Amino acid sequence: MSSLMDTRLNAMRKPAIDPLDLVYPPLCSFCGGGLAAGRALCESCAAGMTRIVPPFCDVCGEGFQGQIDGTFDCPNCKEISFSFEFARAAMDRSDETLELIHRLKYGREIHLARDLGILACDAFQDRRLAVALEEKWPLVPVPLHWRRQRDRQFNQAEEISKFVGEMMGLAVVKRLKRVRRTQTQTRLSRRQRMENLKGAFAIRKSWFFEKENPIGKDKTPGVILVDDVFTTGSTVDECAKVLRKAGAGRVVVLTVMRG
C-alpha cells in the first residue's frame, strides 16, 4: 500500500502550474521559502510536522510515549463503547498543525485545506483502512449547522474531504446534516459534550442522495467519517450513531489531528 500512497502523494504534490504563480511566487506558510505550485507548505516544513506513529490506542488513535508490544486501548477508551470501530488521526497535536487548522477554520484561508488533506492521507498507512480503499467506502464529512456554515462560508471537514477523496480515489458524500445548533464544545467535559450533541445530527434525505449516493448494508459496507480534529470523540460518535442507524455496515473515523 505504501507504493500506492507514494504515487498518489506525488500526484497531489505536483499540480498544474497556476499562471499567477509565475507573477507572484507562492511562499511557504511557515518558513516563507519557495513552494511548488498549489501547495501552502514546503516539503521540509510538511515533513517536519509531528505524525502519530505506533504505539497508539487502537480505538481513539491517541499516541503513547513508550514501548508497548501488540495492540492496546488507552484508559480513556476502556470504559466507553463508541458507535464507530476506531478513529485514526494522521498528526499528533502540535502548535504547527493546530495553527493550520485554525487558519483554515477561523482565518478562512481555504487554500490550506489541500495541505491538510494531504497530511490526513498519511493515516491510510494504517492497515486497518486497507479494506476501506479496496471497497471504495465513501468519505462523509462531519457537517456544520447551516447558520455556522453561512457565517464561515464553508465547512472545513468537507473541504479537507475533497482533497482526501481526490488523492485516495474515494467519493465524498454529504450524507449528514446538523439539525440543532449546539453550544461550543471547547470548555465542556466529555460527558457534557455527549449530552450537548444528542439529537444534533440526522441523515440528509433527498432524491439525489438516495439515488446516487446510497448508504446501506446492501450497497455500502462502510463509510469513513471525516473531521479536522478528534478530541473526545463525542461529535463523531454521535454522527456514527446516525449513520449506523441509517444502515451503514461499518463506520471508521479519519481526522487530520488528534487533539
pLDDT digits (tens, 9 = 90+) for 119-160: 999 999 999 999 999 999 999 999 999 999 999 999 999 999
Here the cell at position 239 is 454522527
In angstroms, rounded to a whole number, what is the distance separating the alpha carbons of residues 183 and 181? 7
| pLDDT at residue 221, as a whole number | 80
β partners of residue 145: 178
Q: Is the pLDDT of residue 203 over 90?
A: yes
Task: Show the DSSP H helices in 90-233 as ranges.
Answer: 95-105, 112-120, 130-134, 146-152, 156-168, 190-197, 207-212
Please write the tens of the pLDDT for every residue from 21-72.
444 568 898 998 888 767 899 999 999 999 999 999 999 999 988 788 777 8
Q: Is the pLDDT of residue 226 over 70?
A: yes
In angstroms, rounded to a whole number, what is the distance separating the alpha carbons of residues 219 and 138? 11
> In the chain, what percentage of residues exceed pLDDT 70?
83
Q: Which of 120, 124, 119 is nearest to 141 (CA)?
A: 120
Taking residues 102-109, report their average pLDDT: 95
Taking residues 168-188, report their average pLDDT: 86
Is residue 108 very low, low, confident or very high in pLDDT (cuts 50, 70, 90)?
Answer: very high
Choices 3.40.1350, 3.40.50, 1.10.760, 3.90.25: CATH for 50-258: 3.40.50
Q: Is the pLDDT of residue 208 over 70?
A: no
Domain boundaries, the chain: 50-258
Helix axes 95-105, 112-120, angle to 10 degrees: 130
Is residue 172 very low, low, confident or very high in pLDDT (cuts 50, 70, 90)?
Answer: very high
Q: Which helix (H) or strand (E) holds 11?
A: helix 2-13
Taking residues 77-106, report their average pLDDT: 95
Averaged pLDDT of the chain:
86
In angstroms, rounded to a whole number, what is the distance separating the alpha carbons of residues 259 and 232? 8
Q: Is the pLDDT of residue 20 over 80?
A: no
Please provide the size of the chain in residues. Answer: 259
| pLDDT at residue 10, as a whole number | 56
In angstroms, rounded to a whole number, what is the distance separating the alpha carbons of residues 130 and 125? 8
